Chain A
Amino acid sequence: MAAEKILQIENVRKLFHKTVAVDDVSVEVEAGEFIALVGPSGCGKTTLLKMIGGFEVPTAGRILINGKDMTGVRAAQRPTSMVFQKLALFPHKTVEQNIGYPLKLRKTPADEIKKLVAEMLELMHLKPEYLKRYPRQLSGGEQQRVALARSLISSPTILLLDEPLSALDFKLKKNLQAELKRLHRSLGVTFVHVTHDLEEAMILADRICVMRDGNILQLGKPADIYYRPADDFVASFIGETNIFNISVEDVGADAIRYSGQGIEDSDPSIERAKAASDIRTGTAEMMVRPELVRILRSGESADCQARVKVDEVFIKGSSLQYRASMIDGGARLVFEMLGTPILPVDVGQEVTLGWNKSDVFVFQHEPGETPSPKEPGAD
Chain B
Amino acid sequence: MVKVVDKSLKDRELWVTASPSTLLQLAFMLAPLCLLLMITFQVTQFFQVTWVWNLDTWTDVFTTGYYWSILLVTLKMAGLCVLLCFIISFPIAYGLATRFKAFENHIKVLMIFAFMTDIVLKTYGWVIVFDDSGVINWILRGTGIVGPDWINGLVFSQFATMVGMIYNLIAFMIFTIYLSVLNIDRDLIEASYDCGAGKFRTFWEVTLPLCRPGIWAGCLLVFVLSMGVYLEEKLMGGGNEPMMGHLIHQTFGTRVNWPLGSALTVVLMVVALVVLLIFIRIYRFDKYTATR
Contacts and interface: CB of A to CB of B under 8 A. Distances in A.
Interface of A: 53-55, 74-77, 80-82, 84-86, 88-92, 101-102, 105-106, 134, 136, 150-151, 154
Q: Is the interface of B mostly helix, strand, loop or mixed?
A: helix
Contact of A92 (B187, B194, B197, B209): B209
B190 A134 contact: no
B187 A84 contact: yes
A72 to B, nearest CB: 15
A134 B291 contact: yes
A209 B112 CA distance: 50
Interface string B75-95: 000000000000000000000
Nearest to A136: B291
A154 B191 contact: no
Contact of B193 (A76, A92, A150): A76
B201 interface: yes
Given A86-B185, A91-B210, A81 B194 contact: yes
A273 B40 CA distance: 102
Contact of B194 (A76, A86, A89, A136): A76
Contacts of A55: 190, 193-194
A84 B210 contact: no
Contacts of B192: 90, 101
A91 B194 contact: no
Contacts of A85: 187
Contacts of A88: 185, 187-188, 190-191
B206 to A, nearest CB: 6
Given A91-B210, A92-B288, A86 B187 contact: yes
Contacts of B292: 91-92
Contact of B188 (A77, A90, A102, A106): A90
Interface of B: 185, 187-188, 190-198, 201, 205-206, 209-210, 287-288, 291-292
Contacts of A77: 196
A197 B39 CA distance: 74
Given A77-B196, A86-B187, 9 more contacts: A55-B193, A55-B194, A76-B196, A82-B191, A89-B191, A90-B188, A92-B209, A105-B196, A154-B196
B68 to A, nearest CB: 40
A228 B243 CA distance: 84
B254 to A, nearest CB: 51
30 contacts: A54-B193, A55-B193, A81-B194, A82-B191, A86-B185, A88-B187, A88-B190, A90-B188, A90-B191, A90-B192, A90-B205, A90-B206, A91-B210, A91-B292, A92-B209, A92-B210, A92-B291, A92-B292, A101-B192, A101-B195, A101-B197, A102-B195, A102-B196, A105-B195, A105-B197, A105-B201, A106-B196, A136-B291, A151-B194, A154-B195
